[in-house]
Protein backbone atom coordinates (compact mmCIF):
# COMPACT_ATOMS: atom_id res chain seq x y z
CA UNK A 1 0.00 0.00 0.00
CA UNK A 2 1.22 3.48 -0.89
CA UNK A 3 2.15 6.31 1.43
CA UNK A 4 -0.90 8.19 0.16
CA UNK A 5 -3.12 5.26 1.11
CA UNK A 6 -1.73 5.32 4.63
CA UNK A 7 -2.22 9.06 4.83
CA UNK A 8 -5.82 8.90 3.67
CA UNK A 9 -6.54 5.94 5.94
CA UNK A 10 -5.21 8.01 8.82
CA UNK A 11 -7.50 10.92 7.89
CA UNK A 12 -10.49 8.60 7.64
CA UNK A 13 -9.65 7.30 11.07
CA UNK A 14 -9.11 10.75 12.56
CA UNK A 15 -12.17 12.40 11.04
CA UNK A 16 -14.79 9.65 10.98
CA UNK A 17 -13.46 7.29 13.62
CA UNK A 18 -12.97 4.32 11.27
CA UNK A 19 -10.72 1.55 12.57
CA UNK A 20 -7.56 1.80 10.48
CA UNK A 21 -7.08 -1.96 10.35
CA UNK A 22 -10.30 -2.20 8.31
CA UNK A 23 -9.20 0.32 5.67
CA UNK A 24 -7.75 -1.70 2.77
CA UNK A 25 -7.63 -0.71 -0.92
CA UNK A 26 -10.41 -3.16 -1.81
CA UNK A 27 -12.93 -2.20 0.84
CA UNK A 28 -15.81 0.09 -0.14
CA UNK A 29 -17.06 3.09 1.81
CA UNK A 30 -20.40 1.41 2.45
CA UNK A 31 -18.58 -1.61 3.85
CA UNK A 32 -16.90 0.76 6.30
CA UNK A 33 -20.40 2.03 7.22
CA UNK A 34 -19.64 5.42 5.68
CA UNK A 35 -22.93 6.72 4.30
CA UNK A 36 -23.36 9.24 1.51
CA UNK A 37 -23.49 12.23 3.88
CA UNK A 38 -20.35 11.15 5.69
CA UNK A 39 -18.71 10.63 2.32
CA UNK A 40 -19.49 14.22 1.27
CA UNK A 41 -18.03 15.43 4.57
CA UNK A 42 -14.88 13.42 3.94
CA UNK A 43 -14.68 14.79 0.40
CA UNK A 44 -14.85 18.34 1.81
CA UNK A 45 -11.99 17.47 4.17
CA UNK A 46 -9.89 16.08 1.29
CA UNK A 47 -10.60 19.30 -0.61
CA UNK A 48 -9.46 21.40 2.35
CA UNK A 49 -6.39 19.28 3.06
CA UNK A 50 -5.15 18.46 -0.44
CA UNK A 51 -6.90 21.06 -2.58
CA UNK A 52 -8.55 18.39 -4.68
CA UNK A 53 -11.89 19.23 -6.28
CA UNK A 54 -15.00 17.39 -5.11
CA UNK A 55 -14.44 13.73 -5.94
CA UNK A 56 -16.93 11.64 -7.78
CA UNK A 57 -17.14 9.02 -5.08
CA UNK A 58 -20.11 6.90 -4.18
CA UNK A 59 -20.63 4.69 -1.16
CA UNK A 60 -19.72 1.77 -3.46
CA UNK A 61 -16.35 3.27 -4.40
CA UNK A 62 -13.33 1.52 -2.95
CA UNK A 63 -10.63 3.16 -0.88
CA UNK A 64 -8.18 2.31 -3.66
CA UNK A 65 -10.30 4.23 -6.17
CA UNK A 66 -10.42 7.21 -3.81
CA UNK A 67 -6.66 7.17 -3.35
CA UNK A 68 -6.15 7.03 -7.13
CA UNK A 69 -8.47 10.02 -7.64
CA UNK A 70 -6.66 12.04 -4.98
CA UNK A 71 -3.30 11.12 -6.50
CA UNK A 72 -4.48 12.19 -9.97
CA UNK A 73 -5.96 15.42 -8.64
CA UNK A 74 -2.73 16.25 -6.81
CA UNK A 75 -0.45 15.62 -9.78
CA UNK A 76 -2.79 16.91 -12.47
CA UNK A 77 -2.35 20.69 -11.98
CA UNK A 78 1.42 20.30 -11.56
CA UNK A 79 1.74 18.45 -14.87
CA UNK A 80 -0.43 21.03 -16.58
CA UNK A 81 1.84 23.77 -15.29
CA UNK A 82 5.06 22.12 -16.45
CA UNK B 1 -57.52 22.82 42.00
CA UNK B 2 -56.13 19.56 43.27
CA UNK B 3 -52.45 18.81 42.99
CA UNK B 4 -51.13 16.68 40.16
CA UNK B 5 -49.18 13.58 40.98
CA UNK B 6 -45.49 14.08 41.61
CA UNK B 7 -43.13 12.14 39.36
CA UNK B 8 -39.92 10.57 40.61
CA UNK B 9 -36.45 11.59 39.45
CA UNK B 10 -34.58 8.30 39.31
CA UNK B 11 -31.50 9.32 37.33
CA UNK B 12 -29.25 12.35 36.98
CA UNK B 13 -26.59 13.03 34.37
CA UNK B 14 -24.58 16.21 34.67
CA UNK B 15 -22.01 17.88 32.45
CA UNK B 16 -21.25 21.45 33.49
CA UNK B 17 -18.36 23.85 34.05
CA UNK B 18 -18.23 22.35 37.56
CA UNK B 19 -17.24 18.98 36.11
CA UNK B 20 -18.61 15.79 34.62
CA UNK B 21 -20.79 13.53 36.74
CA UNK B 22 -22.83 13.93 39.90
CA UNK B 23 -19.99 13.84 42.42
CA UNK B 24 -17.70 16.23 40.51
CA UNK B 25 -20.65 18.58 40.18
CA UNK B 26 -21.50 18.44 43.87
CA UNK B 27 -17.85 19.01 44.83
CA UNK B 28 -17.85 22.09 42.59
CA UNK B 29 -21.08 23.35 44.12
CA UNK B 30 -19.63 23.04 47.61
CA UNK B 31 -16.30 24.61 46.58
CA UNK B 32 -18.26 27.71 45.65
CA UNK B 33 -15.73 29.20 43.24
CA UNK B 34 -16.66 30.70 39.89
CA UNK B 35 -15.45 28.67 36.90
CA UNK B 36 -15.17 31.66 34.57
CA UNK B 37 -11.78 32.05 32.92
CA UNK B 38 -10.13 33.58 29.88
CA UNK B 39 -10.54 31.19 26.95
CA UNK B 40 -8.13 30.97 24.01
CA UNK B 41 -11.07 30.03 21.78
CA UNK B 42 -12.43 33.55 22.30
CA UNK B 43 -9.11 35.32 21.82
CA UNK B 44 -9.39 38.82 20.36
CA UNK B 45 -13.11 39.22 21.07
CA UNK B 46 -14.55 41.98 23.27
CA UNK B 47 -15.54 39.30 25.81
CA UNK B 48 -12.83 36.64 25.78
CA UNK B 49 -13.85 34.59 28.82
CA UNK B 50 -16.54 32.05 29.62
CA UNK B 51 -17.28 29.01 31.77
CA UNK B 52 -16.13 25.89 29.89
CA UNK B 53 -16.65 22.26 30.89
CA UNK B 54 -13.19 21.31 32.18
CA UNK B 55 -11.42 18.63 30.16
CA UNK B 56 -14.44 17.65 28.09
CA UNK B 57 -13.21 15.19 25.44
CA UNK B 58 -16.18 13.93 23.48
CA UNK B 59 -14.00 11.69 21.30
CA UNK B 60 -12.67 9.89 24.37
CA UNK B 61 -16.08 9.66 26.07
CA UNK B 62 -18.23 8.74 23.07
CA UNK B 63 -15.86 7.68 20.28
CA UNK B 64 -15.07 9.53 17.07
CA UNK B 65 -17.47 7.24 15.15
CA UNK B 66 -20.26 9.18 16.89
CA UNK B 67 -18.73 12.59 17.56
CA UNK B 68 -17.63 13.44 14.03
CA UNK B 69 -21.15 14.68 13.32
CA UNK B 70 -22.02 16.20 16.69
CA UNK B 71 -21.76 19.76 17.95
CA UNK B 72 -20.27 20.12 21.44
CA UNK B 73 -23.70 20.63 23.03
CA UNK B 74 -24.97 17.40 21.50
CA UNK B 75 -21.90 15.51 22.73
CA UNK B 76 -22.53 16.85 26.22
CA UNK B 77 -26.19 15.85 25.97
CA UNK B 78 -25.24 12.27 25.06
CA UNK B 79 -22.69 11.98 27.87
CA UNK B 80 -25.25 13.30 30.37
CA UNK B 81 -28.03 11.06 29.02
CA UNK B 82 -25.88 7.94 29.32
CA UNK B 83 -24.94 8.89 32.88
CA UNK B 84 -28.56 9.58 33.81
CA UNK B 85 -29.84 6.28 32.42
CA UNK B 86 -27.07 4.36 34.17
CA UNK B 87 -27.70 6.29 37.39
CA UNK B 88 -31.36 5.28 37.16
CA UNK B 89 -30.29 1.64 37.04
CA UNK B 90 -32.02 1.21 33.68
CA UNK B 91 -30.66 -0.90 30.84
CA UNK B 92 -31.70 0.20 27.34
CA UNK B 93 -31.00 -3.32 26.11
CA UNK B 94 -33.91 -4.56 28.15
CA UNK B 95 -36.47 -1.79 28.34
CA UNK B 96 -39.55 -1.32 26.17
CA UNK B 97 -38.12 1.54 24.13
CA UNK B 98 -41.50 2.37 22.63
CA UNK B 99 -42.49 3.70 26.07
CA UNK B 100 -39.41 5.90 26.55
CA UNK B 101 -39.65 9.58 25.61
CA UNK B 102 -36.94 12.21 25.18
CA UNK B 103 -37.63 15.92 25.76
CA UNK B 104 -34.59 18.18 25.52
CA UNK B 105 -34.46 21.92 26.14
CA UNK B 106 -32.24 23.78 23.67
CA UNK B 107 -32.24 27.55 23.59
CA UNK B 108 -30.68 28.32 20.25
CA UNK B 109 -28.78 27.10 17.25
CA UNK B 110 -25.26 25.86 17.87
CA UNK B 111 -22.84 28.28 16.19
CA UNK B 112 -19.49 26.55 16.74
CA UNK B 113 -19.04 25.70 13.06
CA UNK B 114 -20.31 28.96 11.60
CA UNK B 115 -16.99 30.82 11.41
CA UNK B 116 -15.54 28.24 9.05
CA UNK B 117 -18.66 27.71 6.97
CA UNK B 118 -19.31 31.43 6.57
CA UNK B 119 -15.84 31.87 5.03
CA UNK B 120 -16.77 29.33 2.37
CA UNK B 121 -20.08 31.10 1.78
CA UNK B 122 -18.38 34.48 1.47
CA UNK B 123 -15.81 33.10 -1.00
CA UNK B 124 -18.56 31.34 -3.00
CA UNK B 125 -16.82 28.00 -2.36
CA UNK B 126 -20.17 26.30 -2.10
CA UNK B 127 -18.69 22.86 -2.66
CA UNK B 128 -16.65 23.32 0.52
CA UNK B 129 -19.68 23.92 2.74
CA UNK B 130 -20.06 20.97 5.05
CA UNK B 131 -23.06 18.70 4.48
CA UNK B 132 -23.35 18.79 8.26
CA UNK B 133 -24.10 22.51 8.25
CA UNK B 134 -27.86 22.03 8.58
CA UNK B 135 -27.83 18.96 10.89
CA UNK B 136 -25.47 20.79 13.24
CA UNK B 137 -27.85 23.79 13.30
CA UNK B 138 -31.03 21.86 14.01
CA UNK B 139 -32.04 22.32 17.63
CA UNK B 140 -33.86 18.97 17.73
CA UNK B 141 -30.91 16.85 16.57
CA UNK B 142 -29.48 16.19 20.02
CA UNK B 143 -32.85 14.85 21.21
CA UNK B 144 -32.87 12.51 18.21
CA UNK B 145 -29.30 11.43 18.94
CA UNK B 146 -30.25 10.60 22.54
CA UNK B 147 -33.20 8.55 21.28
CA UNK B 148 -30.91 6.65 18.91
CA UNK B 149 -28.22 6.17 21.50
CA UNK B 150 -30.47 4.64 24.15
CA UNK B 151 -32.97 3.07 21.73
CA UNK B 152 -35.88 5.17 22.92
CA UNK B 153 -38.66 4.91 20.34
CA UNK B 154 -41.26 7.03 22.12
CA UNK B 155 -41.97 10.75 21.59
CA UNK B 156 -38.71 12.62 20.95
CA UNK B 157 -38.49 16.39 20.70
CA UNK B 158 -36.70 19.53 21.66
CA UNK B 159 -38.38 22.51 23.27
CA UNK B 160 -37.09 26.05 23.19
CA UNK B 161 -37.91 28.79 25.66
CA UNK B 162 -34.42 30.32 25.49
CA UNK B 163 -32.82 30.29 28.92
CA UNK B 164 -35.78 28.47 30.48
CA UNK B 165 -35.64 25.57 28.00
CA UNK B 166 -34.18 22.98 30.37
CA UNK B 167 -36.88 23.60 32.97
CA UNK B 168 -39.62 23.66 30.36
CA UNK B 169 -38.44 20.29 29.08
CA UNK B 170 -38.67 18.82 32.58
CA UNK B 171 -42.21 20.13 32.97
CA UNK B 172 -43.39 18.87 29.60
CA UNK B 173 -41.69 15.50 30.11
CA UNK B 174 -43.52 15.26 33.43
CA UNK B 175 -46.76 15.92 31.57
CA UNK B 176 -46.03 13.21 28.98
CA UNK B 177 -45.61 10.76 31.89
CA UNK B 178 -48.80 11.84 33.64
CA UNK B 179 -50.81 11.73 30.41
CA UNK B 180 -49.68 8.15 29.85
CA UNK B 181 -47.79 8.96 26.64
CA UNK B 182 -44.70 7.24 27.99
CA UNK B 183 -43.45 5.29 31.02
CA UNK B 184 -39.96 6.78 31.20
CA UNK B 185 -39.07 10.35 30.24
CA UNK B 186 -35.47 11.36 29.60
CA UNK B 187 -35.61 15.13 30.01
CA UNK B 188 -33.30 18.06 30.48
CA UNK B 189 -31.35 20.62 28.54
CA UNK B 190 -28.11 21.11 26.66
CA UNK B 191 -26.33 24.05 25.11
CA UNK B 192 -22.87 25.48 24.65
CA UNK B 193 -22.36 29.23 24.61
CA UNK B 194 -18.62 28.68 24.31
CA UNK B 195 -18.43 29.86 20.72
CA UNK B 196 -17.05 32.98 19.08
CA UNK B 197 -20.31 33.91 17.37
CA UNK B 198 -22.29 33.37 20.58
CA UNK B 199 -19.88 35.61 22.49
CA UNK B 200 -20.05 38.37 19.89
CA UNK B 201 -23.82 38.07 19.53
CA UNK B 202 -24.64 38.21 23.22
CA UNK B 203 -22.11 40.97 23.86
CA UNK B 204 -23.69 43.07 21.08
CA UNK B 205 -26.94 42.76 23.03
CA UNK B 206 -25.18 44.17 26.08
CA UNK B 207 -26.07 40.96 27.94
CA UNK B 208 -22.56 39.85 28.93
CA UNK B 209 -20.29 40.93 31.74
CA UNK B 210 -17.29 42.78 30.32
CA UNK B 211 -15.08 42.17 33.34
CA UNK B 212 -12.28 40.82 31.12
CA UNK B 213 -9.52 41.64 33.60
CA UNK B 214 -11.11 39.55 36.37
CA UNK B 215 -13.26 36.81 34.80
CA UNK B 216 -13.67 34.84 38.04
CA UNK B 217 -15.35 37.93 39.54
CA UNK B 218 -17.63 38.51 36.55
CA UNK B 219 -20.68 36.37 37.35
CA UNK B 220 -22.16 38.10 40.41
CA UNK B 221 -25.92 37.57 40.71
CA UNK B 222 -27.73 40.02 43.00
CA UNK B 223 -24.46 41.88 43.73
CA UNK B 224 -24.69 45.66 43.38
CA UNK B 225 -21.76 45.70 40.94
CA UNK B 226 -23.00 43.04 38.51
CA UNK B 227 -22.81 43.93 34.83
CA UNK B 228 -24.23 40.99 32.90
CA UNK B 229 -23.96 37.23 32.59
CA UNK B 230 -21.08 34.95 31.66
CA UNK B 231 -21.56 32.38 28.89
CA UNK B 232 -21.31 28.76 29.96
CA UNK B 233 -22.00 25.33 28.52
CA UNK B 234 -23.21 21.94 29.61
CA UNK B 235 -26.02 19.41 29.74
CA UNK B 236 -28.30 18.30 32.52
CA UNK B 237 -30.42 15.19 32.04
CA UNK B 238 -33.00 13.71 34.41
CA UNK B 239 -34.75 10.37 34.16
CA UNK B 240 -38.38 10.72 35.22
CA UNK B 241 -40.81 7.95 36.07
CA UNK B 242 -44.22 7.87 37.68
CA UNK B 243 -43.64 7.53 41.41
CA UNK B 244 -45.50 4.21 41.63
CA UNK B 245 -43.40 2.73 38.83
CA UNK B 246 -40.17 3.89 40.45
CA UNK B 247 -41.18 2.41 43.81
CA UNK B 248 -42.31 -0.83 42.20
CA UNK B 249 -38.85 -1.47 40.79
CA UNK B 250 -37.17 -0.25 44.00
CA UNK B 251 -35.29 2.46 42.14
CA UNK B 252 -33.21 5.00 44.03
CA UNK B 253 -35.25 8.21 43.97
CA UNK B 254 -33.31 11.50 44.03
CA UNK B 255 -36.51 13.44 44.61
CA UNK B 256 -39.72 14.41 42.87
CA UNK B 257 -40.93 16.95 40.39
CA UNK B 258 -43.99 18.04 42.34
CA UNK B 259 -45.09 21.10 40.45
CA UNK B 260 -44.52 22.91 37.16
CA UNK B 261 -45.57 26.37 36.11
CA UNK B 262 -45.08 27.99 32.72
CA UNK B 263 -45.99 31.51 31.68
CA UNK B 264 -45.24 34.37 29.33
CA UNK B 265 -44.39 37.96 30.26
CA UNK B 266 -46.03 39.13 27.02
CA UNK B 267 -44.08 42.32 27.62
CA UNK B 268 -40.94 42.71 25.48
CA UNK B 269 -38.86 40.49 23.20
CA UNK B 270 -35.77 40.53 25.40
CA UNK B 271 -36.31 42.75 28.46
CA UNK B 272 -38.04 41.08 31.40
CA UNK B 273 -41.18 42.68 32.80
CA UNK B 274 -39.78 44.84 35.64
CA UNK B 275 -42.91 44.12 37.65
CA UNK B 276 -42.32 40.38 37.33
CA UNK B 277 -45.96 39.55 36.63
CA UNK B 278 -45.04 36.70 34.30
CA UNK B 279 -42.42 35.14 36.55
CA UNK B 280 -44.79 35.40 39.52
CA UNK B 281 -47.49 33.65 37.51
CA UNK B 282 -45.14 30.78 36.67
CA UNK B 283 -44.08 30.50 40.32
CA UNK B 284 -47.61 30.58 41.72
CA UNK B 285 -48.79 28.12 39.06
CA UNK B 286 -46.03 25.70 40.05
CA UNK B 287 -47.06 25.98 43.71
CA UNK B 288 -50.72 25.36 42.90
CA UNK B 289 -49.76 22.50 40.62
CA UNK B 290 -47.91 20.92 43.55
CA UNK B 291 -50.83 21.55 45.92
CA UNK B 292 -48.67 23.82 48.03
CA UNK B 293 -48.52 27.34 49.34
CA UNK B 294 -45.55 29.68 49.29
CA UNK B 295 -44.61 29.03 52.90
CA UNK B 296 -44.01 25.35 52.06
CA UNK B 297 -40.90 26.32 50.08
CA UNK B 298 -37.72 25.88 52.12
CA UNK B 299 -35.12 26.80 49.51
CA UNK B 300 -34.94 28.60 46.17
CA UNK B 301 -32.43 28.14 43.36
CA UNK B 302 -32.93 31.46 41.60
CA UNK B 303 -32.58 32.13 37.89
CA UNK B 304 -30.16 34.94 38.91
CA UNK B 305 -28.09 35.53 35.78
CA UNK B 306 -26.44 38.76 37.02
CA UNK B 307 -28.00 41.07 34.47
CA UNK B 308 -28.80 44.46 36.01
CA UNK B 309 -32.50 44.41 35.10
CA UNK B 310 -33.28 40.70 35.40
CA UNK B 311 -31.98 40.25 38.93
CA UNK B 312 -33.92 43.24 40.25
CA UNK B 313 -37.17 41.95 38.77
CA UNK B 314 -36.58 38.45 40.13
CA UNK B 315 -35.59 39.67 43.59
CA UNK B 316 -38.74 41.79 43.83
CA UNK B 317 -40.91 38.85 42.75
CA UNK B 318 -39.30 36.38 45.15
CA UNK B 319 -39.56 38.87 48.01
CA UNK B 320 -43.25 39.41 47.23
CA UNK B 321 -44.22 35.73 46.89
CA UNK B 322 -42.00 34.37 49.68
CA UNK B 323 -42.12 36.83 52.61
CA UNK B 324 -40.80 34.09 54.90
CA UNK B 325 -37.46 34.44 53.05
CA UNK B 326 -36.24 30.86 52.52
CA UNK B 327 -32.50 30.54 51.75
CA UNK B 328 -31.76 31.46 48.14
CA UNK B 329 -28.80 30.64 45.96
CA UNK B 330 -27.86 31.62 42.41
CA UNK B 331 -25.56 28.94 41.06
CA UNK B 332 -24.90 30.78 37.79
CA UNK B 333 -22.30 32.59 39.89
CA UNK B 334 -20.40 29.28 39.70
CA UNK B 335 -21.37 27.83 36.31
CA UNK B 336 -22.03 30.92 34.26
CA UNK B 337 -25.14 30.86 32.13
CA UNK B 338 -25.45 27.51 30.41
CA UNK B 339 -28.46 28.81 28.45
CA UNK B 340 -30.77 25.96 27.42
CA UNK B 341 -29.04 23.62 29.87
CA UNK B 342 -29.35 25.91 32.87
CA UNK B 343 -32.93 25.12 33.91
CA UNK B 344 -32.19 21.40 33.95
CA UNK B 345 -28.79 21.71 35.62
CA UNK B 346 -30.27 23.94 38.31
CA UNK B 347 -33.18 21.56 38.88
CA UNK B 348 -30.58 18.82 39.40
CA UNK B 349 -28.54 21.07 41.73
CA UNK B 350 -31.73 21.70 43.70
CA UNK B 351 -32.50 17.99 43.95
CA UNK B 352 -28.94 17.34 45.20
CA UNK B 353 -29.39 20.18 47.71
CA UNK B 354 -32.54 18.49 49.02
CA UNK B 355 -30.86 15.07 49.11
CA UNK B 356 -27.79 16.34 50.96
CA UNK B 357 -29.44 19.18 52.92
CA UNK B 358 -26.79 21.74 52.03
CA UNK B 359 -27.34 24.91 49.99
CA UNK B 360 -24.39 25.92 47.75
CA UNK B 361 -23.21 29.51 47.83
CA UNK B 362 -23.79 32.42 45.54
CA UNK B 363 -20.21 33.39 44.72
CA UNK B 364 -18.92 36.92 44.20
CA UNK B 365 -21.37 38.49 46.64
CA UNK B 366 -19.51 41.52 47.93
CA UNK B 367 -22.31 44.04 48.22
CA UNK B 368 -25.93 42.88 48.07
CA UNK B 369 -28.01 45.01 45.72
CA UNK B 370 -30.50 46.90 47.85
CA UNK B 371 -33.23 45.68 45.51
CA UNK B 372 -32.47 42.16 46.77
CA UNK B 373 -32.35 43.12 50.45
CA UNK B 374 -35.36 40.90 51.24
CA UNK B 375 -33.60 37.77 49.98
CA UNK B 376 -31.74 35.47 52.36
CA UNK B 377 -28.87 34.73 49.97
CA UNK B 378 -26.46 31.96 50.94
CA UNK B 379 -22.94 33.35 50.59
CA UNK B 380 -19.39 32.58 51.72
CA UNK B 381 -19.99 28.96 52.72
CA UNK B 382 -22.63 26.30 52.06
CA UNK B 383 -25.49 26.35 54.53
CA UNK B 384 -26.99 23.32 56.23
CA UNK B 385 -30.75 23.26 55.91
CA UNK B 386 -33.63 21.07 57.00
CA UNK B 387 -36.19 21.13 54.23
CA UNK B 388 -37.94 18.78 51.84
CA UNK B 389 -39.32 21.31 49.36
CA UNK B 390 -37.60 23.74 47.01
CA UNK B 391 -38.25 25.95 44.00
CA UNK B 392 -36.10 26.42 40.89
CA UNK B 393 -36.87 29.34 38.58
CA UNK B 394 -35.86 29.82 34.94
CA UNK B 395 -36.70 32.78 32.73
CA UNK B 396 -35.93 33.13 29.04
CA UNK B 397 -35.55 35.84 26.45
CA UNK B 398 -38.92 36.29 24.85
CA UNK B 399 -40.47 36.51 28.31
CA UNK B 400 -40.91 32.75 28.57
CA UNK B 401 -40.84 31.49 32.14
CA UNK B 402 -40.74 28.15 33.93
CA UNK B 403 -40.80 27.26 37.60
CA UNK B 404 -40.38 23.84 39.17
CA UNK B 405 -41.36 22.73 42.67
CA UNK B 406 -39.05 19.89 43.69
CA UNK B 407 -39.39 17.69 46.76
CA UNK B 408 -37.33 15.12 48.62
CA UNK B 409 -37.74 11.42 48.00
Q: What are the pLDDT digits (tens) for B301-318?
A: 999 999 999 999 999 999
Q: Residue A70: which CATH number?
A: 1.10.1200.10
Instruction: State the pLDDT at residue A1.
Output: 58
**Of the residues B193, B223, B248, the one at which a domain ends:** B248
Please tell me whether residues B270 and B210 are part of one structural domain.
no
Cβ count near B182 (within 10 Å): 22
Among B343, B342, B360, smallest CA distance to B352 is for B360
3-state SS record for B63-74: CHHHHCCCCHHH
pTM over the 0.90 mark: yes
- Per residue in A19-71, pLDDT (tens digit) is 999 999 999 999 999 998 999 999 888 888 877 777 678 899 999 999 998 88
Looking at beta carbons, which residues of chain B come within 8 Å of A44?
A: 127-131
Query: Which pLDDT score, from 0 to 100, does residue B1 have?
Result: 47
- pLDDT for residue A82 is more than 70: no
Task: Let me know whether B222 and B334 are in one domain.
Answer: no
Q: Which residues of chain B have pLDDT under 70?
A: 1-2
| Assigned domain for B64 exists | yes
- Minimal Cβ distance to B68: which of A17, A53, A54: A17
Give pLDDT, residue B119: 93
Phi-psi region of A43 (alpha: psi -120 to 50; beta: other; left: phi over 0): alpha
pLDDT of A81 reads 40
CATH number at residue B281: 3.40.47.10
Is B2 inside any structural domain?
Answer: no
pLDDT of A77 reads 56
Q: Is the pLDDT of residue A80 over 80?
A: no
A19 domain residue, yes or no: yes
Burial class (CB in 10 A: 0-12, 13-18, 19+), A79: exposed
Tell me whether A37 touches chain B (CB under 8 Å): yes
- B72 and B214 part of one domain: yes
Are residues B114 and B179 located together in one domain of the fold?
A: yes
Full domain range(s) for residue B356:
257-407
pLDDT confidence of residue B2: 53
Q: Sort out which chain B residues have CB atoms less than 8 A from A47's CB and list them.
A: 127-128
Tell me how far apart the alpha carbons of residues B116 and A41 are, in angstroms, rounded to a whole number: 14
Domain boundary among B197, B227, B248: B248
Contact in structure between B338 and B357 (CB atoms under 8 Å): no
In a shared domain, residues B33 and B167: yes
Partners of residue A10 in chain B, C-beta under 8 Å: none
Is A2 strand, coil or helix? coil
Please give the tally of structural domains in chain B.
2
Same domain, B216 and B280: no
The answer to whether the Cβ–Cβ distance between B127 and A44 falls below 8 Å is yes
Domain membership of residue A36 as a residue range: 3-76
Measured distance CA(A17)–CA(A40) in Å, rounded: 15
pLDDT surpasses 60 at A5: yes
| Annotation marks residue B337 as catalytic | yes
Nearest C-alpha neighbor of B210 from the set B306, B302, B114: B306
Which member of B254, B256, B299, B303 is catalytic?
A: B303
CA nearest to B332, candidates B360, B354, B364, B304: B304
Contact B331, B274 (CB under 8 A): no
Same domain, B212 and B264: no
Chain A's closest residue to B130, CA to CA, is A41
**Residue at B1 is within a domain:** no
Question: Per the structure, how many domains does chain A have?
Answer: 1
Residue B319, burial from CB neighbour count under 10 angstroms (0-12, 13-18, 19+): middle
Amino acid sequence: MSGLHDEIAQRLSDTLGIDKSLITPDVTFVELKIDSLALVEFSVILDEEYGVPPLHLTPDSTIGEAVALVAAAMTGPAEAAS
Amino acid sequence: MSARSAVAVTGLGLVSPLGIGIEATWAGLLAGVSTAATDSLLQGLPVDFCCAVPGFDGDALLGRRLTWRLEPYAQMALVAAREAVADAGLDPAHWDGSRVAVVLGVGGTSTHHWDKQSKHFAAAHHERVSPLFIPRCLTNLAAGEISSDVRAFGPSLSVSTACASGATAIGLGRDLLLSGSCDIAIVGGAESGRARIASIGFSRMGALSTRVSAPAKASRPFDANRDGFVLGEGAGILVLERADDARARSAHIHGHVAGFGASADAYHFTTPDPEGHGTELATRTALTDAGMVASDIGHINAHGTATPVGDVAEAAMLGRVFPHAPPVTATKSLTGHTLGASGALEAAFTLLTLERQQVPVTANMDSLDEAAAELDLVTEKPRDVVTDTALSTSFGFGGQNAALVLTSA
